Amino acid sequence: MYKIDHDFVTYLDVIDKFVVILGLPIAYIQYFRTKRKEKRDREYGTYNALDEKYLEFQKLCLDHPYLNIFDIPDKHPKKLDEKQAKEELILLTMLFSIFERAYLLYSDQYSEIKKKQWLGWDDYIRSFCHRKNFLQAWEISGNTFDTDFEAYMENVIEDVKKSEI
């Protein structure tokens, strides 16, 4: 049998303890970096999914230029026939759905990214609440959404009406 040198065993023991002492904090730091990156990726994933829906709506605006549904309201909206009025209602209801999604994803969040996103969505929603066709569509289909979102919309509509007086 080989005789193991006592100094060598001591040396291995010191190396073992050194690896443990350094390894645990490094693993801990790496774990939290990974968690932070996963959270940021989820937040951007949320943003991208909602952005895709919004861009789809913008394409629909382009496909239906005779409807007054684009971000910038028509100065002189066209008189719509029955079919066009139905299209406008459907597309505005789709917009409500996008707004609802934004509300549910961003309105009560604490992360800085989501807070900033919500401020933008809230301003955007408020801008539509000045439009007659939007308010008429909300009267027709506004009771089909999440109740918290419906309450938010009713409050915003009321605020906008008060500001116009």
Chain-wide mean pLDDT for the chain? 89
DSSP string, 54-106: HHHHHHHHHH-TTSS-SSS--SSPPPP-HHHHHHHHHHHHHHHHHHHHHHHHH
pLDDT, greater one: 111 or 61: 61
2 pLDDT tier (thresholds 50, 70, 90): low
Handedness of CA 4, 7, 9, 12 (dihedral sign): negative
| Domain locations in the chain as residue ranges | 6-163
121 pLDDT tier (thresholds 50, 70, 90): very high
pLDDT at 18: 77
Query: What percent of the chain has a predicted confidence (pLDDT) above 90?
Result: 61
Candidates 44, 43, 45, 51; CA nearest to 110 is 43
44 pLDDT tier (thresholds 50, 70, 90): confident
